[in-house]
Amino acid sequence: MLCAVMIIILMFMVHRGVMHEADQKTFFNLCFHTQLLFSLDVFWELLDGSAFPGARVLNYIVNAAYFAQCGILCYYWSQYSLFLSGSCRFSGTFYKVLFALPMAVEVVLSIASVWTGWYFTIDSANHYHRGDWLFIQVTVMFIYLVYSLLVAVFTIKRQRDVVNRNKLYAISALGFLPFFSQVLQAQFPGVSVFCTGATLGLLIVFLEIQREMISLDPLTRLNNRNQASIYLSSRFKQDIPGKRLYQFIIDLDKFKGINDTYGHMEGDNALVIVSTVLKLVCGPRGHFISRYGGDEFVVFANLPNNAAADELCRMLEKKLSDYSKALPYTLAMSIGYAALRDGEKEEELMSRADASLYEIKKRKHAER
């Protein structure tokens, strides 16, 4: 009942619009199916062993609905994990049908168990007993839950971007906690721990989504200025042998002209393109990326020397040039950077990087 109340609170908060629209719909749907399973579990607890007229029939119906809902919930659980991780798996019709096939089998066998006793039987005293084929139901749930877990784990290994890794850790909890609790429930019949694992998984994902909304820039989905300050403060306490902390300040050239000529919508599109370039170049290398404000971006990178910093600048400029070929205007950026010195304060590093950017922009202006 406590888990059911927590799920209702989550659904209420989502309904009030504390999440993005796409997240809101899918998360609310998952909460609804989780809540439905909890409700069936409560009804079973009330009906099992009851002796009022029609109680045995209701017990059959509730048990069949419960086992069918287990498959449906685990299907939606895996779907939501794919949604959060941005995976394009099972996008075609054939793969969608294939992915839904275990759920369909689970629903059919659950309903058929009313007559066959495959998953469960109800004795004359209206008590539930496990069927001989219950292992199929457990296997179907494990297939979906293990798949959700594996998607997150393997994606984490390939993902070096800190922000995305945090989300993937939450997705792994979304798969691991229900999986672990289902294993316990299968080993100890009558102990309803699956609802606890499912609720904790949903709560962790919900909190991660809220954290992401607070810490990310809504347009570019990059870290915001506050997160940049937090990262810099934490990085000052670390020492990476053979590398120094570099701060890059990136400013989009002639951004005001894009807004004035093509409108603010196109200006926003230009900022999104820059953020995409930063993610493609810096993300795989584990560099910290932030939109600092307006058309200004900040990157923190652990590099061995200035030559590596210059190479990073060239890669960013080339990638942005490639992306701007299809645009009616040319996108270009100015990049200034500074390496952290021993005993230097955060403000001093920022000031030197900003001065470097100013010199770059001054030189470009003189060349024109």
Residue 18 predicted with pLDDT over 60: no
Q: How confident is the model at residue 135 (pLDDT cuts 50, 70, 90)?
A: confident
Does residue 294 come out as left (phi exceeding 0), alpha (psi in the -120 to 50 range) or beta? left
The alpha carbon of residue 160 and the mean position of all alpha carbons in its chain are separated, in whole angstroms, by: 14
Instruction: Please give the pLDDT value at position 3.
Output: 87
At residue 162's C-alpha, the angle toward residues 248 and 29, to 5°, is 135
Residue 20 predicted with pLDDT over 60: no
Question: What is the Rg, in whole angstroms, of the alpha carbon atoms belonging to the chain?
Answer: 27
Structure tokens at 235: 């990085």
The answer to whether 103 and 172 have CB atoms below 8 angstroms apart is no
Q: Which helix (H) or strand (E) holds 141?
A: helix 134-158
Q: How confident is the model at residue 156 (pLDDT cuts 50, 70, 90)?
A: low
SS3 content of the chain, % helix, strand, coil (to 5): 70, 10, 20
Tens of pLDDT, residue by residue over 290-340, are 998 888 999 999 999 999 999 999 999 999 988 888 888 888 899 999 998
Residue 159 predicted with pLDDT over 60: no
| Sign of the C-alpha dihedral computed for residues 337, 340, 345 and 346 taken in this order | positive
- What residue type is 364 in one-letter code? K
Place of tokens 């570019």: 220
Rounded-to-integer distance, Cα 196 and Cα 4, Å: 10
Instruction: Please give the pLDDT value at position 152.
Output: 67
Q: Identical fold at 2-215 and 225-367? A: no
What percent of the chain is predicted at pLDDT more than 70? 87
Residue 6 predicted with pLDDT over 80: yes
Q: Where are the domains of the chain?
A: 2-215, 225-367
Residue 35 predicted with pLDDT over 80: yes
The answer to whether 137 and 149 have CB atoms below 8 angstroms apart is no
The answer to whether 33 and 71 have CB atoms below 8 angstroms apart is no
> Higher model confidence: residue 279 or residue 191?
279
Structure tokens at 107: 């629903």
In 3D space, the residue among 51, 11, 58 whose CA is nearest the CA of residue 34 turns out to be 11
Average pLDDT over residues 6-13: 88
Instruction: Please give the pLDDT value at position 65.
Output: 95
DSSP three-state, residue 202 = helix
Place of tokens 């995976």: 87
The answer to whether 67 and 113 have CB atoms below 8 angstroms apart is yes
> Hey, what CATH topology would domain 2-215 get?
Rhopdopsin 7-helix transmembrane proteins (1.20.1070)
In 3D space, the residue among 3, 1, 16, 31 whose CA is nearest the CA of residue 205 turns out to be 31
| Sign of the C-alpha dihedral computed for residues 319, 323, 325 and 328 taken in this order | negative
The answer to whether 30 and 77 have CB atoms below 8 angstroms apart is yes
Instruction: Please give the pLDDT value at position 278.
Output: 93
- What residue type is 22 in one-letter code? A
Rounded-to-integer distance, Cα 45 and Cα 111, Å: 19
* Range 225-367 has CATH code 3.40.1790.10: no
Residue 163 predicted with pLDDT over 60: no
DSSP three-state, residue 123 = coil
Per DSSP, the residues of 11-60 read HHHHHTT-S-HHHHHHHHHHHHHHHHHHHHHHHHHHHTT--STTHHHHHH
Q: Which residues contact 55 (CB under 8 A, 6 or more apart)?
A: 47, 126
Average pLDDT over residues 126-150: 85
Instruction: Please give the pLDDT value at position 303.
Output: 92
Rounded-to-integer distance, Cα 281 and Cα 308, Å: 13
In 3D space, the residue among 40, 58, 65, 140 whose CA is nearest the CA of residue 99 turns out to be 140
Q: What is the mean pLDDT of the chain?
A: 84
